[in-house]
Structure formats: structure tokens, C-alpha cells
Structure 1
Amino acid sequence: MMLDNPADKYRPFVAVDLPDRQWPNRRLETPPQWCSVDLRDGNQALIDPMDLERKQRFFDLLVKIGFKQIEVGFPSASQTDFDFVRSLIEQDRVPDDVSIQVLTQAREHLIDRTFEALEGAKNAIVHVYNATDPVFRRVVFNVDKDECVQIAVEATEQIRKRMEAAPETNWTFQYSPELFSTTELNFAVEIVEAVMDTFAPSVEAPMIVNLPATVEAATPNHYADQIEWFCRQVKHRDSLIVSLHPHNDRGTGVAAAELGIMAGADRVEGTLFGNGERTGNVDIVTLAMNLYTQGVHPELDFSNITPIMREVEHCNQLPVHPRHPYVGDLVFTAFSGSHQDAIKKGMAERRANPEAMWEVPYLPIDPMDVGRSYEAVIRVNSQSGKGGVSYLLEQEHGIELPRRLSIEFSQVVQEVADRTGKEITSRMIYQAFADEYLEQNEPFALVGHRLSSEPDSPRVHLEAQIAQNGERRTIRGEGNGPLAAFVRALAAEGQDVEIIDYHEHSRGQGADAEAVAYVEVRIDGEAVFGAGIDESITTASMNAVMSAINRKLSTQAPAANVTAESLA
């Protein structure tokens, strides 16, 4: 049961004394060094850890994306990891510009086993850690500060000697004061500097110091303060690559990483889509694409994001949430009517000026930049409006509804969506449009027509054959154009029709192009819409008038002939 006063049990995080902090005024203008830890940290968090085949597939994917540093395992703790590292090296599966990273605890026999796994590697990062947090020192390991420093120093010395004994490998050393974000900052600097004194990094050959938020315990601004404070205080900062390893316990791992980079960090460790222990590691895809939306290329390639997601889902045996930033199946999809209307207008402006800066409402990036099409940007359900319906008709069926007709037809679709309670597909929308407007051919239908005119005269003479309840007859009329002549011919037969509004456009291109016509007419004082499609614009416009007449004469409600079964 939640406590009435949680302060009796949980203490607030103590802020860093950094009144002149600089990071809030900085911008992210270059990408950090990226290190994927999917194959170790992410793998440890899986219900079913990856076998060698899935690990190899994941490694190949990371290389293809563009990672230059990949943590491939914990070879001293797992035979599967040991065998995988050996297979990468022995089968020459690691590109020359990629460094493989392995993790080890600060114990002599585990370090020996780690170097055994790495024998013959071209480029390798050896990552050693020990817990520095006061609770871990007291409760888990029962060591004081001096003993904690000694553990780190002895492990560093052993690693340095093993590296010197294998000069054929291009080695990089990495040290993590585990649980950095809950460690006393002065002590974090003390233990890192002791490690530096032992390893002796230089500007030309720096070491990595990784500062993990192993358990996210404070707001992202506190983590940024810690990083900036550390970077100011630690000696020989130019001999260090300061790395971040944020976890996501508070749900702010991405923000913590971004602010940490602004605070001076050079490198980020994380996983694709944030898989990891508890609530996960920081999500590198989101971090990278956040940079991309600000005009900074992350130097990772997510041009075809869906196959990447599917491969990660296969390897991790975990689904990616459909609303996951940038990659989820629904992140570029709008069901809301107001969202759809804004997107529709933004896309129309974009088509008119495709070289302009990207400014489409509700879409932070162009879906095509990550290999997504526009087909699923707008989808229709009971929450949708005219904008979504019109967009799908236009994009997938070439039907460009006039605004007033769009409003009317959206009510037809809305009724179906409310009745079925399901998503309405573009095919269903088109069928509803055809049922409601294009296939309204009773009681009147246009059978054919013939036009003629006198030389130098604007008047058009029309002779048309119509069918009324299957019985054919000929009507005649004249006017300033074919449609005017048709309306006069109908009037002569007792069917008074007044054209209020008219729109037309082509659908398709070349020999297969069709004409689409829309009319709004007044019959007996009531405004009615009709639509027609034909190879001939004249025939399409006449069919539109007949559609409107039939809809007016129909004894059914406008949507009565549209059923869930007919659209299924």
C-alpha cells in the first residue's frame, strides 16, 4: 500500500552545488560516439538470452547500421558469450573499423578469462567495473572507500599488463565506477583518478571513463550537473573519453543522455529501442533520431527502420511497442480528426513546395526518411473526421472531394465506424463513396448523349438518352455548355435542377486517365450532392447530376445502403 507520507521512507536526491552550470545554454550539434550494448547488457535482460545464431544476426545488423563500438558479451561469465567472441575473431567477422567491447568484473581470474576470449582481436575495448555507491560498499561488498579504490587499481594494473603483452591488438581501456549517479561525486573523481594514475592514458591514447546511471535516481538535470561537475574536476580531462550509460528507471533515460552530452560527455552506451534490465537502457534509436530532427546526422543509418525493428524483435523475442518513438507501427499514424485535417493540409503544402524545410503538423520527421510510406499516415476509426476520410480517398483512390462534399461524406463513414467499432480501411471508404454517390443509378440513368453546335455560336445542342426505371427515352436541350444543356433538357421533362457548385479533376494519367465530376444541386429547395466518373468529363458531369437526382428521389436515408457487411 502506498504511504500517506513517502518522505518517511524515501529521501530526495541531493542536488549538485553547481550555480554556474553551463550545459543549459548548449546545443547538440554533433553526434556522440555510439556504443551498442544490446549483445551484453540488453541480452542479460532477455527472458530467453540469445543463442549464437541470434547474436551473430544482431551483430551483423549493428555493423550495417554503422556502429563502430559494439559490446559483444561478458565472456568471463558465460560460455555462450566466450564462444561468440571467439567465433567473431576466428571467423574474421569484425570489420577493421569496428571495436568489440567486453565486460569483466574486477577479479583476476575473470580478467584472465576475458583476455583469453579476446586473443587475436584487431580492435578491442576491455571494460572493467566495480560498484562505488555507498550502499553497495556497505551492504553488498562490505568495503570502505580505500578498499574500493584498491579493487579498481589492482584490476587496472592487471589489464594494463595484459594489454602490453599483446601489442598486436589495438586496445582501449574502459573503467566504470558502477552506480556513478548515486556515488559521492568527490569519491567518483578520486577513484577515477586513481585508475588513471595506474593506466596512464594520454591525449593520443585516451581511456574511456563510463559514468553510468545504473539505477536512475534523479531528474535528468541532476545527471547533467553531475557530468559537468565531473568533467570540470577530474584531472587530465583531455586524456579521457567521458561515456554515459543511462538506465531508464524513472522513464527519462533519453533526456538524461541528451543533457549529459550537453554537459560535456563524448560517448553514449545504449541499446536499440531501449531493451535492458528493469525499465531498460537508454534508447539509441530515439537519441539518434532526435538529433536527426534537429538537422544533425547521427552517423547511424535508420533509413529502413521497419526491417531493423523486425530483426531486433526476432533476436530479442520481445515486441517493439506500436507507439515507440520513430519506429512503432503507429507512430506516424493519425486517427484523430483534428490531427488528420492538419496533416492533410501540411502534406498539400509540402507537395506544392517539396524543397522547403519540413513543416508538417504532428509529424516531427518525414516518414519516408526512415523508409515508411505515407499510406498509413492517416487511418480512420470512430475518432476520425473529414480530413482523414478525404486524405485516404485522395492518396489511394485519386478522389479529391470538395470541402462541403467531404463534410457530408465523412458522416457516412462516421456512421459505419460507430456501428462497427472498428478501423475503416481505405478500400471500405471507397466502397462507401461508390455506394453513396457513384452507383446511384435508380430511378434515372444516363444511357448516352450527342452534342452539336452551330458555327460561331456558343450554344450547345444536346440529345441524350436516359433510362427511367429501365424504360428509355430521349431528352433534348440547349445551353452555354453541355451541363447547362443537360439541365435544360431535364427541366423540359419536369425535373427542375439548379446547379449550385461544380468541381472536376482527372484521376490517373495518360490513356488510363478518368474524369471525376462533383455537383451540388438544388432540387425542390434542398441542396444535394452527386458524383460521377467517366473517361469523358461531359459524361462524368452528367452522371454526377443524375447521382444527385437519384439521391434526392431515394426514399432511403443517405447512408441506409451502406452496411458493415457490404464494406467488410
Structure 2
Amino acid sequence: MGNMDSSRYKPYPAVDISARSWPDARITSAPAWCSIDLRDGNQALPVPMNVEEKLRMFELLVDTGFKQVEVGFPSASAVEFDFVRTLIEQDLIPEDVTIQVLTQAREHLIRKTFESIRGARKAIVHLYNSTSALQREVVFGKDRHEVKEIAIRGTELVRELAGQHQGGTVYFQYSPESFTGTELDYALDVCSAVMATWGASESNKVILNLPSTVEMSTPNIFADRIEWFCRNLPNRDAAIISVHTHNDRGTAVASAELAVMAGAERVEGALFGNGERCGNLDIITMALNLFTQGVDPELDFSNMAHIADVYTDVTRMPVHPRHPYAGELVFTAFSGSHQDAINKGMQAIEARAGSEWRVPYLPIDPMDVGCSYKAIVRINSQSGKGGIAYVMDKEFGCQVPRWMQPDLGKSVQDVVDNTGRELSPEEIYSVFESSYLKLTRPYALTKCQIRWEDEDPERNDEEATVISALVDTSQGGKEFTARGNGPVDAFVKGLREYVGLEFSVDEYAEHAIGHSADALAIAYVRIDTPDGRSACGSGIDSNISYASIKAVLSACNRL
């Protein structure tokens, strides 16, 4: 068993609760949804969204039907603050949409947060502080009373500043962060104190957001915690119970679904589950789970391709090809028996026009999320590029970029059409090699040397990269030396001037293959010519600069 020692971990405690009601409950209507893409999702990105990208995401969320959107953490950075001000000052928030802003329970951050929402018609101020036993011990060094006082003082200030807000209404949300790591009786005590401090009533409700900041238990135990909390909360009618589940155990959707069955009325989550570590609840999955049970989710995912495109553009995160309802391969069957059953199911449902959706292996009509039936009946040809990219990544560590996948897919499909059978991973890689890596005609790189010559160190824009290369062509060897602001730029300029090739590099990507010290590098390019032609190329080398140069020449050969 290697070095894995399970004795270092302790089971999560069960909840002392009897006569549970949630196992017999059914979800018959959608909860209130709150998107956290622009805050929790954004803070987990390697490259956070800028204001323009956040505006694009906000527009997508509004178009999808979200009525509550957590738009940021305005006291955290200038970009966050400026984005909130942009939404308000440019009147970009529809009247039926409420923005939400997050703040820690610290005075200067709360005041900065209220400054950001000045003039907002409707805003939720989301106050939080960590209440977990572990963080009280190792992070804050504070006891239960001291941590509760932080929540109370923060609530007092939010109430004071909310009373001074002009031109609209401020609602209040409180999160005992790391609720899953907090003793239930203590979480109840803190939240009850917050409600009393706010002056919560049935007409002035507090949103109590109970987050599984780290998912620590099976979903049934989380549901037990929610039901226990709802049963024991004083003045229950004065609170809206919200959940915010993370996916550390891979069950964020199940936890949120069972929590709603246990009494939660509101759910926070992100598109495609974006968020810290393993991510947040995927609102798309939970909403469409309801949809497949005949419940209107009150969110519109009928153009999933557009949603995925905007998401990938602004987050720079991919959508996994097996992602529920949205991945490139979720309506694709490679098994012959699956394909046959789907085909017969589609024929049967066409004969039963207007009846309920019942097709083997397809829990949802692909048309409902904007997918064509063509992807079902022509599975191999329609979904080939996604499957090929998946094989290249998982089997060989080659992460073929999205813009190159159709080009590679055509090359593989030509072989599939000629052989009339499915190709093995090794055969797919062989097509990749012969189509891109082993091309030597009409151009072959015989010699190449890269050096750096900075004639003016004070300038940052100087073309300091020098390439000396010998390229064999059908007209003989062409030797040249060229300068550029990088190896690719210098090489392209040399090919233009000395070999007579006219093109520009339109797309470029690179990555290491493997993680060892001697890992190879692979580069991908797409070039365009003035007469409208384009071609993709790829190169592999131990040096990323030479891999890039090989990729450029590969694309030239494919022209």
C-alpha cells in the first residue's frame, strides 16, 4: 500500500438528530440562486479577470437569469472596487438583479465596501468571519467568545452604515466561514447573536449562509447539519438559509441538493464549479439536475456552447470534455452497443412526437442545451476532435489547443475513413507525428543558433534576440541571420526576408511534456498568409525556443 497511512485521519462526527425529514423530501421548485463566479470563482484563477472580462461575465450571468450575483470583494483590490463602481455608475445592473459584495468583519474593510456600493438600488453586504475550531486554535488564537464578538461588532457596523445608505436598499448576509469545521451549537450561537444584533424579523430577514468552505463529510451528514440548524434556530422565519458547498470530496452538488431537501432556501455556486482547490458547487449541474426531474430551474442554459465559450475566454479555464451536460463528449458514445441503443431511442422518440424524453444513455435532450442531434447519430465524426484531444492529453501529455483541434481532427478522420475502424492511442499519435512533427518538405531546418545581443540595456523594446539559421528548400539552402523580440519573431522575419515566405503567426501555445527535469517541450502555432490560407504546425524539442521554431516550420510545410 505504499506510504499511505489512513490512521492519520479521523472520521467526521455524525449529527445527533432523530426523525430526519430530508430523506423523504423532494425538490419541487428551484432555490434562490446566487452566482459567485465574479468573486469566489475569480479569486481562484491564476490570472484574475480584469474589469472588461468581469463585465462580460456579469452580462452572461444576467442573460442566464441570475437575480443575485456576488460581484466581488471590493475592499481587496482596485480592480474589484472599480468593477462595482462601474456597474453602478454606468447603470448596468437590471432592476430585478441584486448585486452582492463580500467583506471580512473588519472595520476598514466594511467601510470600504459600503463606499463601493454607494448609489446601488439593491445590494447584499456579505459579512464573514471564520468560526471553525481549527482556525480559532491555529490561526486566530481566540476563544469562542472572542470570535463571536468579531461577528457582532461587524454586524453592528454593517447595520449602522446600511441605515445611512441612500438611494436603495441594503440587505445583510452573514457567513460563519468554515461552517463544516465549526461545532454546530457554536455556529448556532454565533448566527443567533448576529440575527439579534441586526434586528432580524420576518420583514427584515438575514441571509445566513452556511458554507462547506472545505467539504469534510458525506452529503447526508451535511444535510443533517442543515436540518439540525433549521430546527434549532430561534426566530427561524427571520432568516433565509443559504448554502455554499465546495467540492473537495467531489460531492458539492449532492451536498447542496440534500441541503435544500433539509431546509435550505438559497444556493451559491459558480458556472462549471469554478473555485478554490476542487471548486465550488457547479450551478449548471444542479440546475439541470432539477430540469431533468421536471423542475423549472429558472435559469437558461439553452445555449451551452456560448456559455462555455465566454467562461473559457474570461477565466482561461477549460471545460472538461466529460463535464456533466456541457463537455464535448457527454453526448458521445464510442461503444457500439451504446451507439446502437441511442440511435434506436432517437428513432422511437421521433415516432412518439410530443411525449416525454426517454432515450437510452441520454438523461437530457441535447437540444435543450443547444446541441444538435447530429452529434448523436454521427458520433465518431461529430465529436472526433474532442476525443482526439483527450487521448493526446491523457496518453501522451500533449495538450492540443482548442484552435488546433479541428485541424488535427481532420488529419485523424482521414485515416479513420480510410481504415474504417477506430484508431488506438498509438495510431492517433502516429498521425500527429507524420502530420506535424516529421515534415521536412519543402523546408527543413539544418542549423539554428539563438543568441542574445542587447545593444541598449536601457530600452525594453529592443529586438535583442538574434537567430542564425540554415533552411533547406527546393531551391537549395538558405542561410540567414535575423533579429526579433524573441526567437519566433526573429525566425519569422528571417523566413520572410531570406526565404520569401509571407505569413504571420496568428495563434501560439506551448507547454512541457511531463514534469521531470529532462522533460521535453512542445509548441503549437497557426499561421496565416496574405492570400487567406492558414496552417497549423507543431514542434518538440528539449528547448522550448527550438520547439517553437520547429512548429513554425512545420506550419510552413503544411501550407
Per the normalisation by structure 1, the TM-score is: 0.67
Q: Distance in 2 between matches of 1:339 and 1:43?
A: 38
State the one-letter code of the partner of 1:292: F
Please state how far the C-alpha of 1:20 moved relative to its aligned partner: 1.1
- Residues 1:89 and 2:120 are matched in the alignment: no
- Residues 1:416 and 2:456 are matched in the alignment: no
Q: Provide closer, same or farther for how the CA distance between residues 132 and 376 of structure 1 changes in structure 2, counting only shifts above 3 A.
A: same
8 Å contact kept, 1:333–1:378 = no
Q: Which residue of 2 aligns with 1:230?
A: 229
Q: Which residue of 2 aligns with 1:6?
A: 6
- Cα deviations across residues 223-254 of structure 1 (Å, max 9, x unaligned)? 00000000000111111110000000000000
- Cα deviations across residues 290-343 of structure 1 (Å, max 9, x unaligned)? 000000010001111111110011010111001100011111111111111111
8 Å contact kept, 2:65–2:298 = yes
Structure of higher CA gyration radius: 1
SS at match of 2:420: helix
Please state how far the C-alpha of 1:356 moved relative to its aligned partner: 1.1
8 Å contact kept, 1:254–1:282 = yes
State the one-letter code of the partner of 1:101: Q
Structure 1 gap segments, 5+ residues each: 385-411, 424-568
What is the alpha-carbon root mean square deviation over aligned residues?
1.9
8 Å contact kept, 2:252–2:280 = yes
Q: Provide closer, same or farther for how the CA distance between residues 349 and 158 of structure 1 changes in structure 2, counting only shifts above 3 A.
A: same
Structure 2 gap segments, 5+ residues each: 384-415, 429-559
8 Å contact kept, 1:35–1:68 = yes
Please state how far the C-alpha of 1:19 moved relative to its aligned partner: 2.5
SS at match of 1:318: coil
- Residues 1:354 and 2:353 are matched in the alignment: yes
Q: Distance in 2 between matches of 1:226 and 1:420?
A: 49
Q: Distance in 2 between matches of 1:205 and 1:416?
A: 68
8 Å contact kept, 2:341–2:360 = yes
- Residues 1:316 and 2:315 are matched in the alignment: yes
- Cα deviations across residues 263-287 of structure 1 (Å, max 9, x unaligned)? 0000001000000000000000000
Please state how far the C-alpha of 1:15 moved relative to its aligned partner: 0.4
Q: Distance in 2 between matches of 1:4 and 1:50?
A: 38
Q: Distance in 1 between matches of 2:424 and 2:225?
A: 54
SS at match of 1:120: coil
Q: Which residue of 1 aligns with 2:56?
A: 57
- Residues 1:288 and 2:292 are matched in the alignment: no
Please state how far the C-alpha of 1:197 moved relative to its aligned partner: 0.7
- Cα deviations across residues 164-220 of structure 1 (Å, max 9, x unaligned)? 111522111000000101110000000000001100111112110000000000100
Q: Distance in 1 between matches of 2:118 and 2:200?
A: 22
- Cα deviations across residues 111-133 of structure 1 (Å, max 9, x unaligned)? 00000001000100000101110
Q: Which residue of 1 aligns with 2:15?
A: 16
Q: Distance in 1 between matches of 2:60 and 2:417?
A: 43
State the one-letter code of the partner of 2:100: Q
Q: Provide closer, same or farther for how the CA distance between residues 350 and 223 of structure 1 changes in structure 2, counting only shifts above 3 A.
A: same
Q: Distance in 2 between matches of 1:368 and 1:283?
A: 21
- Residues 1:190 and 2:189 are matched in the alignment: yes
- Residues 1:373 and 2:377 are matched in the alignment: no
Q: Provide closer, same or farther for how the CA distance between residues 91 and 381 of structure 1 changes in structure 2, counting only shifts above 3 A.
A: closer
Q: Which residue of 1 aligns with 2:495?
A: none
Q: Distance in 2 between matches of 1:32 and 1:75?
A: 27
8 Å contact kept, 1:224–1:260 = yes
State the one-letter code of the partner of 2:332: T
Q: Distance in 1 between matches of 2:179 and 2:63?
A: 32
Q: Provide closer, same or farther for how the CA distance between residues 380 and 199 of structure 1 changes in structure 2, counting only shifts above 3 A.
A: closer
State the one-letter code of the partner of 2:341: A
State the one-letter code of the partner of 1:208: I
- Cα deviations across residues 418-438 of structure 1 (Å, max 9, x unaligned)? 568779xxxxxxxxxxxxxxx
- Cα deviations across residues 449-491 of structure 1 (Å, max 9, x unaligned)? xxxxxxxxxxxxxxxxxxxxxxxxxxxxxxxxxxxxxxxxxxx
SS at match of 1:377: helix
Please state how far the C-alpha of 1:355 moved relative to its aligned partner: 1.1
Q: Distance in 2 between matches of 1:253 and 1:263?
A: 15
State the one-letter code of the partner of 2:420: V
Please state how far the C-alpha of 1:16 moved relative to its aligned partner: 0.4
Q: Which moved more, 1:345-354 or 1:49-58?
A: 345-354
Q: Provide closer, same or farther for how the CA distance between residues 56 and 418 of structure 1 changes in structure 2, counting only shifts above 3 A.
A: closer
- Cα deviations across residues 529-563 of structure 1 (Å, max 9, x unaligned)? xxxxxxxxxxxxxxxxxxxxxxxxxxxxxxxxxxx
Q: Distance in 2 between matches of 1:419 and 1:238?
A: 61
Counterparts of 1:126-205 in structure 2, within 5 Å, are: 126-205=125-204
- Cα deviations across residues 474-510 of structure 1 (Å, max 9, x unaligned)? xxxxxxxxxxxxxxxxxxxxxxxxxxxxxxxxxxxxx
Q: Distance in 2 between matches of 1:170 and 1:62?
A: 22
Please state how far the C-alpha of 1:413 moved relative to its aligned partner: 7.6
State the one-letter code of the partner of 1:76: S
Q: Which residue of 2 aligns with 1:395?
A: none
8 Å contact kept, 1:381–1:417 = no
Q: Provide closer, same or farther for how the CA distance between residues 66 and 134 of structure 1 changes in structure 2, counting only shifts above 3 A.
A: same
Q: Distance in 1 between matches of 2:242 and 2:132?
A: 18
Q: Which residue of 2 aligns with 1:344?
A: 343
Q: Distance in 1 between matches of 2:165 and 2:380?
A: 64
Please state how far the C-alpha of 1:5 moved relative to its aligned partner: 4.0
Q: Distance in 1 between matches of 2:356 and 2:113?
A: 50
Q: Which residue of 1 aligns with 2:41?
A: 42
- Residues 1:330 and 2:334 are matched in the alignment: no
State the one-letter code of the partner of 1:256: S
Q: Distance in 2 between matches of 1:82 and 1:154?
A: 23
State the one-letter code of the partner of 1:290: N
State the one-letter code of the partner of 1:104: T
8 Å contact kept, 1:106–1:155 = yes
